[in-house]
Amino acid sequence: MIEIKKGREPDKLLLYRQQEGASYEQMDKEVKDELMEKLMEEQGHICAYCMRRIPERRKLPIGVAPATIEHWFPRNPDNKEDIGQGLNYRNMFVVCSGNRGCGNKEGLTCDARRGNESIKVNPCDAVTLREITYTSSGRIQSSDPEIDEDINERLNLNSNIISLPENRKQVLQTLIDDVRRKCGDGDISLYCRRKLEQIQGTSDPKLPYVGIIIWWLEKHA
């Protein structure tokens, strides 16, 4: 995961929220479409959690959307707490399908997996992302036990069913191969710094699984 910097909310959402009785469930398609487009652009067309490309290009089961709007603080929490989170733009991300339609919970990821469970890790809160690291095999992890549990249990971001670790591993290997071609056996720190600046300066679209790339470059810059 990488930090998502929230921008100005879409005008249609702002106007809609001011209407009496406005709710996320009753939101007009026109408002939701603009909201989805804004979130996609803000995140560089990658899922806020697993960092897959969105909208997904693979064939999905009938009725499964290639991207959905996620509320970090659940809009329908089990304790029924309502603090206006359903229409709070800062509470919204766009996420992948979460492998909906796979037929079992073990295959679900991201918001499809977590349901209404609360999570500590927050793509808008850099503090919760600070201890996230990766392994050379492409697994994502955290030294914070609660966040590590979010990653593995509540969000299932190391799912082998949809090859998340393997996909990250391939992205990382492509980067390492590029660095070796450019630098040979010499000092790679300058090239890594420039590459890091280039990647962090790219807003939309971002590279899928870019979190592992940034992590590796920061270690070697």
d(CA 14, CA 146): 34
This model's pTM is above 0.85? yes
Structural contact between residues 174 and 133, judged by C-beta atoms closer than 8 angstroms: no
State yes or no: pLDDT of 130 exceeds 80.
yes
Mean pLDDT confidence for 203-213: 95
Alpha carbon 189 to its chain's center? 28
Of the pLDDT bands very low, low, confident and very high (cuts 50, 70, 90), residue 79 is low
What's the pLDDT tens digit per position in 161-193? 999 999 999 999 999 999 999 999 899 999 999
* DSSP label at residue 30: H
Of the pLDDT bands very low, low, confident and very high (cuts 50, 70, 90), residue 77 is low
Cis previous bond, 55, omega within 30: yes
Least confident of 63-77, 106-120, 180-194, 205-219: 63-77
Burial class (CB in 10 A: 0-12, 13-18, 19+), 201: exposed
State yes or no: pLDDT of 121 exceeds 70.
yes
Least confident of 17-21, 82-86, 184-188: 82-86
What's the pLDDT tens digit per position in 22-57? 999 999 999 999 999 999 999 999 999 999 999 887
Mean pLDDT confidence for 55-69: 86
Amino acid at 213: I
Measured CA distances, 105 to 70, 80, 115, 164, 197 (Å): 18, 24, 11, 16, 39
